[in-house]
């Protein structure tokens, strides 16, 4: 009987290992978040460590499993609860364990993978990279358009396209990644560790969103105001269960018509955001403290790979407010999509239908990487139109005065350049040729390589995790089971896992 259990456990456990998101978050509380987020603060400290923490998916996972779901506790107390929890997250976890297909361009990767030989290099087939652009003819009449060399956008593009992607990446690593605007304070963030998703991603006091009518006015969210009377954004972290009510209070208070979610709930087997909205599949209505949020309608995709739900937000005793919840699940964390087109289409669509004067809320997991890249499109265009000498690095520095740690990696930094080139191409301001075409192609090759590398690492991490859980936990559980007389209850529970 006992040996039968020992034989059965690895199977059960590997099934659990494949479904880890539920467990991860609990550990994040005890691990990352308990650290004093502000100790040893200095210019750049956080840019770097955040990068490492969020980025080292597999490394981190391994640690957490060892310490968290570790050993006897899986069967004794953790087992049952975790299983229930995992189930509720099943759909998310499943999709995240199949990450490769979801990145950027599903067709691209599967084609590459199924190709009979490696000779079919993706870059030799431009239509694979930019299905909507390269395969179509360039913007209407672009061949005949004479570039207007007085247009700041043209001057900017001609100068920038001459830069080499590698140099831009180096510039990011050297002068921007660690850049911290002078004179910022982080008191509120420091005093509310429990409301911060990551201990090393901080929120500056000056631009933070202050909640009204709440006992605690803090939420990890910053206003980012595009200059010259441009769009106002709120950049925020992926909500935590303890901040759901704060989050919806903020949406209602700021009357943000759009809530743009640039991540999945679970990515690379890690909880990146908690489900703060009603899910059509389960419940159409959820209550978060004194606020009820209902799903009214699911609308057609506004852009490739994006979903669009209409939600009604109703605080007790107040009139409801309708919000568009838009999710873009396929933007790889720390990196950026190969093809800028879906993101640009979403950007243009949001800008088009967002009511004038209404703030747009954007979040991902930490609310600084993908989020700031999205906001950076708007910001950069305005700055370039003002001053043709604008470097994207200048743009990031400006944004960082409002949202510290904006843009997390050189790939995101490059991607922002690409978004602007692509927008100018669409507007017929520049053409996809010469240096501009080369620049875009170089980016795509680089981004693709990075995504593949990350995929591989994630895969390796998952395999290691599984093996690890199987070996360590089995050994431990078996030894526990063999001393059954003192722990009969734990055995019974184990069987039920
Ligand atoms: C487990 O946690 C303890 C303390 O929380 C830490 O010292 C130790 O390094 C961790 N072990 C692993 C493998 O992460
Ligand atoms: C397992 O759980 C028990 C009781 O909840 C606790 O005392 C013990 O420290 C836990 N062990 C580990 C390794 O987490
Ligand atoms: C991954 O996704 C593809 C396509 O959606 C599907 O055919 C395949 O079975 C999935 N693989 C796993 C391991 O889930
Ligand atoms: C334009 O941008 C460049 C580069 O950042 C800067 O040196 C210059 O002072 C700016 N010009 C104006 C008029 O702001
Ligand atoms: C364990 O299960 C057996 C058989 O189902 C039962 O007789 C026994 O009372 C259970 N032990 C505990 C502690 O629940």
In a domain, 324, yes or no: yes
In a domain, 477, yes or no: no
In a domain, 480, yes or no: no
**Residue 247: band (very low, low, confident or very high) from pLDDT cuts 50, 70, 90:** very high
**Total number of domains constituting the chain:** 1
Percentage of the chain exceeding pLDDT 90: 51
Positive or negative torsion for Cα 157, 163, 166, 170? negative
Ligand 5 proximity of 492 Cβ (cutoff 6 Å): yes
In a domain, 115, yes or no: no
Rounded CA-CA distance 44/86 in Å is 37
pLDDT for 491: 34
pLDDT for 145: 58
Ligand 4 centroid to residue 350 C-alpha, Å: 30
For residue 106, the ligand closest to its alpha carbon is 3
Ligand 2 proximity of 492 Cβ (cutoff 6 Å): no
Positive or negative torsion for Cα 415, 207, 209, 45? positive
For ligand 5, atom 13, which residue shows the shortest CA distance?
A: 489
- Ligand 1 atom closest to 64 (CA): 14
**Other CB atoms within 10 Å distance of the CB of residue 68:** 21
| Model confidence pLDDT, tens digit, residues 441-455 | 999 999 998 888 888
Q: Which of 80, 481, 488 for a ligand 5 pocket mutation test, highest count of atoms within 8 Å of Cβ?
A: 488
What range defines the domain where residue 270 resides? 152-456
Bridge partners, 321 (sequence order): 313
Q: Which of 21, 189, 263, 364 is catalytic?
A: 364
Distance of CA 68 to the CA centre of its chain: 24
Q: Is the pLDDT of residue 174 over 50?
A: yes
Active site residue 364: yes
Rounded CA-CA distance 351/260 in Å is 12
For ligand 1, atom 1, which residue shows the shortest CA distance?
A: 67
More confident residue, 380 or 27: 380
For the chain, state the CA radius of gyration: 24
In a domain, 50, yes or no: no
For ligand 1, atom 14, which residue shows the shortest CA distance?
A: 63
In a domain, 366, yes or no: yes
23's tokens:
């467990």
**Residue 140: band (very low, low, confident or very high) from pLDDT cuts 50, 70, 90:** very low
Ligand 5 proximity of 488 Cβ (cutoff 6 Å): yes
Ligand 2 proximity of 487 Cβ (cutoff 6 Å): no
Mean pLDDT of 347-356: 93
Whether the Cβ atoms of residue 162 and residue 169 lie closer than 8 Å to each other: no
Q: Is the pLDDT of residue 130 over 70?
A: no
For ligand 4, atom 13, which residue shows the shortest CA distance?
A: 387
Ligand 3 centroid to residue 94 C-alpha, Å: 9
In a domain, 139, yes or no: no
| Model confidence pLDDT, tens digit, residues 369-399 | 999 999 999 999 999 999 999 999 999 999 9
Ligand 5 proximity of 42 Cβ (cutoff 6 Å): no
Q: CATH number for the domain including 395?
A: 3.90.190.10
Rounded CA-CA distance 348/415 in Å is 16
Q: Which of 277-286, 420-429, 458-467 shows the lowest per-residue confidence on average (mean pLDDT)? A: 458-467
On whether the pTM is more than 0.75, the answer is no
In a domain, 177, yes or no: yes
For ligand 2, atom 3, which residue shows the shortest CA distance?
A: 73
273's tokens:
């955001």
For residue 384, the ligand closest to its alpha carbon is 4
For ligand 1, atom 6, which residue shows the shortest CA distance?
A: 67
**Residue 7: band (very low, low, confident or very high) from pLDDT cuts 50, 70, 90:** low
Q: Is the pLDDT of residue 435 over 70?
A: yes
Region class of 77: left (phi > 0), else alpha (psi between -120 and 50), else beta = alpha
pLDDT for 467: 52
Ligand 1 proximity of 35 Cβ (cutoff 6 Å): no
Average pLDDT value over all residues in the chain? 73
Mean pLDDT of 99-127: 32
pLDDT for 4: 57
pLDDT for 139: 39
| Model confidence pLDDT, tens digit, residues 198-213 | 999 999 999 999 999 8
């Amino acid at each position: 009987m006992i040996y039968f259990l020992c034989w059965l456990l690895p199977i059960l456990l590997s099934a659990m290992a494949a479904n880890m998101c539920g467990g991860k978050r609990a550990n994040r509380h005890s691990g990352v978040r308990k650290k004093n987020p502000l100790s040893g603060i200095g210019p750049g400290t956080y840019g770097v460590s955040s990068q490492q923490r969020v980025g080292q998916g597999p490394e981190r996972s391994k640690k957490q499993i060892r310490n968290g779901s570790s050993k006897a506790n899986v069967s004794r107390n953790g087992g049952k609860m975790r299983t229930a929890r995992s189930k509720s997250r099943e759909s998310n976890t499943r999709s995240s364990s199949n990450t490769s297909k979801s990145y950027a361009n599903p067709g691209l990767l599967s084609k590459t993978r199924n190709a009979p030989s490696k000779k079919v290099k993706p870059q030799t087939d431009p239509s694979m990279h930019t299905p909507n652009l390269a395969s179509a003819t360039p913007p209407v009449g672009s061949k005949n358009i004479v570039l207007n060399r007085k247009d700041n956008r043209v001057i900017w593009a001609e100068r920038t396209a001459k830069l080499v992607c590698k140099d831009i990446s180096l510039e990011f690593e050297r002068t921007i990644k660690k850049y911290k605007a002078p004179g910022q304070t982080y008191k509120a963030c420091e005093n509310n560790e429990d409301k911060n998703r990551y201990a090393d991603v901080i929120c500056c006091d000056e631009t933070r969103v202050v909640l009204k009518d709440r006992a605690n006015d803090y939420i990890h969210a910053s206003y980012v105001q595009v200059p010259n009377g441009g769009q106002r954004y709120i950049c925020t972290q992926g909500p935590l269960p303890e901040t759901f009510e704060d989050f919806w209070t903020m949406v209602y208070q700021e009357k943000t018509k759009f809530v743009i979610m640039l991540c999945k709930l679970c990515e690379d087997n890690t909880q990146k955001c908690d489900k703060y909205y009603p899910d059509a599949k389960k419940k159409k209505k959820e209550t978060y403290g004194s606020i009820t949020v209902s799903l009214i309608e699911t609308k057609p995709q506004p852009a490739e790979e994006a979903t669009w739900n209409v939600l009604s937000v109703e605080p007790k005793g107040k009139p409801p407010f309708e919000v568009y919840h838009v999710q873009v699940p396929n933007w790889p964390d720390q990196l950026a999509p190969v093809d800028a087109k879906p993101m640009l289409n979403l950007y243009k669509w949001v800008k088009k239908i967002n009511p004038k004067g209404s703030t747009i809320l954007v979040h991902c997991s930490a609310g600084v990487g993908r989020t700031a890249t999205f906001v950076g499109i708007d910001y950069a265009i305005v700055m370039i139109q003002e001053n043709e000498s604008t470097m994207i690095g200048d743009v990031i520095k400006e944004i960082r005065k409002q949202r510290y740690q904006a843009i997390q990696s050189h790939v995101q930094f490059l991607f922002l350049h690409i978004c602007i080139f692509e927008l100018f191409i669409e507007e017929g301001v520049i053409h996809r040729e010469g240096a501009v075409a080369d620049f875009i192609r170089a980016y795509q090759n680089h981004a693709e390589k990075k995504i593949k590398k990350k995929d591989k690492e994630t895969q390796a991490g998952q395999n290691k995790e599984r093996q690890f859980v199987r070996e360590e936990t089995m050994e431990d559980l078996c030894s526990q089971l063999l001393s059954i007389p003192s722990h009969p209850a734990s055995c019974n529970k184990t069987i039920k896992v």
